[in-house]
């Protein structure tokens, strides 16, 4: 209750005596003109959902007040047989028939849902901010949809049709409109030293205002599928988004212009397999049962509760109105504008501090370990000594060797058990080919050192951006390193990468750190000359490694080691391409030429190595191994094997090993 009283404290800003709050009808404007220049809250917005089950204004507009004051002009427009006034500084374009459009998009989690609303929802965000942090995540409809996706591992497909009656736009650079008295009062209440005064104005008026609206109707069909089914169909080459569009077109008209064969395929793989379907409306009248576009248009014309569609709407940051043109007597207006621009992007964090729902950087939930495919896997790239890193349920593989030095890349989908050797562009010229260290930080992958055919051991550091499929050359290492082992750990609130060369058998070259935020390397005075490999705990809080024959914890900043167990490794450790990784429940896995071993880092007195199995003999000794959702993925020379490391899998493996030893 305190929170809502806090936000409602702005009631003094709204005056019923405002001279510029006359209705659109009283001023002779087209219906819905009041939504132009209206406040829009991007955090609470969902352009697919109206304020009521039958339509109405899209979520986001209902969380704001009018900001721009429109005045009549002598320009008239005719629509539906009547004359209407087009306000000063506004473009009014009317349509005599339905101007319709359809599109499709999909989402399977928090991040992909936000991205779908940004791309497919139709709202264009202009001005200084392209999209503020946390956009859409405070919307109840967004939250409930994401919860269903994550709880039931569902994937949603959206197909959308729009029917526009008229288009309203504030003219660029026009000086013919002003701001409302309520907004003037709000800006007058802003104090540069008090962030709360800015947040109260944002909460009352919105993060943005509408500079362009499309009045009409928007119909969105939301179809739900099991995510496993979607992944299986897409792995077989079925474009599910295309099937959604075909299904939607078939509903609009008999067959939608598609062949009988296409219609039958659509029914078999799409219509007959969806678990549920929901209709969402924004704007005026609902889509008619007759599926007639002409009838829909007439229903919109006759509907008195017209409203903007989520699609075709452009919004601009509220801060763009804080200028001397609208506030000529405010000596601090430029400083207020700069302050609001600064605080708009921290608005989501502010809401979180107040106990309200807003997610600054939503992420798609990673499926549980039992969703990871462990059988019927693709063979994979036919090379070895390649660098690999994991993001989500994808493994990215770079370079390698097959008799030639390779710049090839590949991506592995652990849910489908499928390698794609065409989606990631090849390593750039000058990058290493083999023996690189690879570490994922966020959506970026950093590649360290390795070996270049022409130049030998390399000091090159390359960053791969998985969101843009692009590379960037970073600050090189101070020394050229081959067979690099690297891990990312959280230090002093930030992520740093720590690395050394596993080539210690042939000489020790040092222990180093790299800060991705500053692109700077540091040399750490520590003796890790007996080191085999490094691995970080799953939460990035601890650094572990095998040194000599013992498992050690490592202080990342100093390189000082602390022996975790007095029980040394029970087998010989040979070679320089040793792999290690950690599970989410704290088990350290160590892969050597003769076996797969593990130790429980949470163990009390029983600190010992257990042998879980052996690396299949079809692998080259220079295989790559990564941990993905508690499954070890081992790849080399055209083979891929998944080795589960869950508690039940460990128990089964231990029983099998003991049984074989008894024999």
Select from 531, 645, 640 the least CA-distant residue to 598. 645
pLDDT band at 654 (very low <50, low <70, confident <90, very high): confident
pLDDT of residue 625: 94
Task: Return the residue matching tokens 């959702």.
Answer: 629
Average pLDDT of the chain is 86
pLDDT of residue 285: 73
pLDDT of residue 197: 96
CA–CA distance, 153 with 37 (Å, rounded to integer): 40
* Residues 532-559: tens digit of each pLDDT: 999 999 999 999 999 988 999 999 999 9
- What sign does the CA torsion over 224, 226, 231, 234 have? negative
Coil, strand, or helix at residue 286?
A: coil
The residue out of 331, 353, 375 marking a domain boundary is 353
Coil, strand, or helix at residue 416?
A: coil
Q: How many domains does the chain have?
A: 2
DSSP states along 491-539: ETTEEEEEEEESGGGG----EEEEETTTTEEEEE----TTEEEEEE-TT
Q: What percent of the chain has pLDDT over 70?
A: 89
* Residues 322-333: tens digit of each pLDDT: 999 999 999 999
Long-range contacts of 193-201 (CB under 8 A, 24+ apart): 195/343, 195/350, 198/339, 198/340, 198/343, 199/343, 199/347, 199/350, 200/7, 200/9, 200/10, 201/10, 201/13, 201/318, 201/340
CA–CA distance, 592 with 614 (Å, rounded to integer): 9
Whether residue 344 is found in the same domain as residue 455:
no
* Residues 19-54: tens digit of each pLDDT: 355 556 677 899 889 999 999 999 998 888 886 666
Lowest mean pLDDT among 6-10, 272-276, 508-512: 6-10
In-domain check, residue 541: yes
In-domain check, residue 238: no
CA–CA distance, 516 with 514 (Å, rounded to integer): 6
Q: Yes or no: say if 645 and 632 are a contact pair by the CB < 8 Å rule.
A: yes
Residue 11 has pLDDT above 50, yes or no: no
Residues in CB range of 110: below 8 A, 6 or more apart: 137, 146, 149, 150, 359, 362, 363, 364, 365
b (16+ CB within 10 A) / e for 529-555:
bbbbbbbbbeeeebbbbbbeebbbbbe
CA–CA distance, 107 with 119 (Å, rounded to integer): 11
CA–CA distance, 150 with 110 (Å, rounded to integer): 8
CA–CA distance, 408 with 402 (Å, rounded to integer): 11
* Residues 517-536: tens digit of each pLDDT: 999 999 999 999 888 999 99
Q: What percent of the chain has pLDDT over 90?
A: 48
Whether residue 348 is found in the same domain as residue 476:
no
Q: Yes or no: say if 1 and 165 are a contact pair by the CB < 8 Å rule.
A: no
pLDDT of residue 503: 59
Select from 546, 532, 536 the least CA-distant residue to 513. 536
In-domain check, residue 493: yes
Task: Output the furthest CA–CA distance in the chain (Å, rounded).
Answer: 99
pLDDT band at 455 (very low <50, low <70, confident <90, very high): confident
In-domain check, residue 487: yes
The structure tokens listed for 635 are 């790849």
Whether residue 339 is found in the same domain as residue 488:
no
pLDDT of residue 497: 98
* Residues 191-234: tens digit of each pLDDT: 999 999 999 999 999 999 999 999 888 888 899 999 888 888 88
Residues in CB range of 113: below 8 A, 6 or more apart: 107, 136, 142, 145, 146, 149, 156, 362
Select from 453, 554, 547 the least CA-distant residue to 496. 554
pLDDT of residue 376: 79
In-domain check, residue 271: no
The residue out of 353, 385, 416 marking a domain boundary is 353
Q: Yes or no: say if 285 and 217 are a contact pair by the CB < 8 Å rule.
A: yes
pLDDT of residue 179: 96
pLDDT band at 504 (very low <50, low <70, confident <90, very high): very low
Residue 507 has pLDDT above 70, yes or no: no
Select from 416, 435, 440, 480 the least CA-distant residue to 640. 416
In-domain check, residue 363: no
* Residues 331-369: tens digit of each pLDDT: 999 999 999 999 998 999 999 898 988 988 888 888 777
CA–CA distance, 125 with 313 (Å, rounded to integer): 9
- What sign does the CA torsion over 615, 619, 621, 627 have? negative
The structure tokens listed for 236 are 């077989």
Whether residue 7 is found in the same domain as residue 129:
yes
Q: Yes or no: say if 227 and 155 are a contact pair by the CB < 8 Å rule.
A: yes
CA–CA distance, 420 with 410 (Å, rounded to integer): 6
pLDDT of residue 5: 28
Task: Return the residue matching tokens 């700077």.
Answer: 520
Whether residue 336 is found in the same domain as residue 456:
no
In eight-state DSSP terms, residue 30 is P
When pLDDT is averaged across residues 129-141 and rounded to a whole number, the result is 78
In-domain check, residue 197: yes
- What sign does the CA torsion over 179, 182, 188, 193 have? negative
Task: Return the residue matching tokens 């965000």.
Answer: 125
Residue 130 has pLDDT above 70, yes or no: no
Rg (CA), the chain: 30
* Residues 281-316: tens digit of each pLDDT: 888 777 777 777 788 888 888 877 678 888 778 999
Whether residue 341 is found in the same domain as residue 481:
no
In eight-state DSSP terms, residue 270 is I
pLDDT of residue 19: 39
pLDDT of residue 102: 63
Region label for 57, one of left (φ > 0), alpha (ψ between -120 and 50) or beta (otherwise): beta
pLDDT of residue 123: 63
| Beta-bridge partner residues of 463 | 446, 472
DSSP states along 186-229: HHHT-BTTBHHHHHHHHHHH-SEEEEEEEEEEEEEEEEEEEHHH
The residue out of 309, 333, 353 marking a domain boundary is 353
Residue range of the domain that includes 113: 2-225+278-353
Q: What is the CATH number of the domain that holds 487?
A: 2.120.10.80
Q: Which residue has the higher pLDDT, 31 or 169?
A: 169
pLDDT of residue 2: 29
| Beta-bridge partner residues of 169 | 91, 212
Q: Which residue has the higher pLDDT, 8 or 240?
A: 240
Q: Which residue has the higher pLDDT, 257 or 128?
A: 257
CA–CA distance, 634 with 593 (Å, rounded to integer): 13
When pLDDT is averaged across residues 439-454 and rounded to a whole number, the result is 94
In-domain check, residue 527: yes
Our CA angle for 529, 495, 602, nearest 5°, is: 65
Residue 144 has pLDDT above 80, yes or no: yes
Task: Return the residue matching tokens 């490391």.
Answer: 645
Q: How far is CA 296 from CA 52, 214, 284, 299, 531, in A?
A: 18, 16, 10, 5, 71
pLDDT of residue 36: 95
């Amino acid at each position: 209750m305190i929170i809502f009283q806090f936000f409602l404290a702005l009631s003094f800003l709204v005056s019923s005596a405002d001279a510029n709050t006359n209705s659109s009808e009283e001023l002779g404007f087209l219906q819905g003109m009041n939504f132009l220049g209206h406040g829009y809250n991007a955090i609470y917005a969902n352009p697919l959902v109206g304020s009521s089950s039958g339509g109405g204004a899209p979520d986001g507009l209902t969380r704001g007040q009018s900001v721009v004051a429109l005045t009549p002009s002598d320009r008239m427009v005719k629509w539906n047989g009547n004359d209407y006034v087009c306000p000063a500084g506004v473009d009014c374009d009317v349509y005599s028939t339905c101007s319709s459009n359809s599109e499709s998009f999909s989402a399977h989690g928090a991040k992909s849902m936000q991205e779908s609303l940004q791309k497919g929802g139709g709202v264009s965000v202009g001005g200084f901010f392209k999209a503020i942090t946390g956009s859409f995540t405070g919307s109840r409809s967004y939250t409930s949809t994401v919860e269903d996706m994550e709880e039931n591992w569902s994937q949603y497909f959206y197909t959308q049709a729009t029917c526009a009656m008229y288009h309203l736009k504030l003219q660029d650079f026009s000086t013919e409109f002003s701001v409302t008295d309520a907004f003037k009062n709000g800006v007058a209440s802003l104090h540069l030293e008090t962030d709360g005064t800015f947040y109260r104005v944002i909460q009352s008026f919105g993060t943005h205002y509408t500079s362009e609206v499309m009045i009409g109707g928007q119909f969105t069909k939301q179809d739900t599928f099991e995510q496993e089914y979607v992944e299986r169909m897409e792995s077989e080459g079925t474009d599910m988004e295309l099937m959604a569009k075909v299904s939607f077109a078939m509903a609009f008209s008999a067959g939608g212009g598609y062949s009988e064969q296409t219609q039958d395929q659509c029914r078999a793989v799409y219509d007959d397999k969806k678990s549920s379907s929901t209709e969402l409306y924004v704007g005026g009248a609902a889509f008619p049962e007759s599926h007639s576009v002409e009838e829909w248009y007439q229903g919109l014309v006759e509907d008195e509760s017209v409203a903007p569609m989520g699609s075709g709407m452009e919004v601009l940051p509220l801060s763009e109105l804080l200028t001397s043109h609208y506030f000529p007597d405010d000596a601090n207006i430029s400083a207020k504008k700069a302050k609001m621009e600064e605080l708009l992007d921290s608005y989501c964090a502010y809401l979180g501090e107040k106990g309200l729902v807003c997610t600054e950087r939503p992420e798609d939930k990673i499926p549980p370990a039992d969703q990871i495919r462990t059988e019927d896997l693709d063979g994979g790239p036919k090379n070895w000594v390649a660098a690999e890193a994991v993001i989500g349920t994808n493994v990215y593989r770079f370079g390698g060797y097959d008799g030639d030095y390779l710049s090839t890349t590949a991506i592995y989908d652990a849910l489908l058990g499928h390698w794609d050797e065409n989606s990631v562009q090849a390593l750039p010229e000058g990058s290493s080919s083999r023996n690189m260290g690879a570490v994922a930080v966020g959506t970026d992958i950093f590649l360290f050192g390795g070996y270049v055919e022409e130049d030998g051991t390399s000091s090159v550091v390359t960053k791969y951006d998985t969101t843009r499929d692009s590379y960037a050359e970073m600050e090189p290492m101070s020394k050229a390193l081959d067979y690099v082992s690297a891990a990312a750990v959280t230090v002093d609130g930030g992520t740093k990468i720590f690395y050394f060369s596993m080539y210690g058998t042939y000489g020790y070259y040092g222990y180093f750190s790299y800060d991705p935020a500053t692109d700077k390397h540091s040399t750490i005075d520590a003796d890790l000359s007996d080191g085999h490999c490094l691995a970080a705990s799953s939460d990035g809080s601890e650094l572990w490694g095998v040194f000599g024959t013992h498992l050690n914890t490592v202080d990342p900043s100093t390189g000082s080691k602390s022996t975790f167990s007095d029980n040394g490794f029970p087998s010989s450790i040979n070679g320089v391409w040793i792999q290690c990784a950690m599970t989410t429940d704290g088990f350290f896995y160590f892969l050597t030429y003769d076996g797969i071993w593990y130790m429980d880092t949470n163990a009390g007195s029983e600190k010992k190595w257990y042998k879980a199995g052996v690396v299949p003999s079809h692998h080259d000794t220079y295989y790559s191994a990564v941990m993905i959702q508690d499954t070890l993925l081992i790849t080399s020379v055209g083979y891929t094997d998944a080795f589960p490391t869950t508690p039940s899998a460990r128990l089964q493996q231990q029983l099998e090993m003991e049984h074989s030893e008894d024999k």
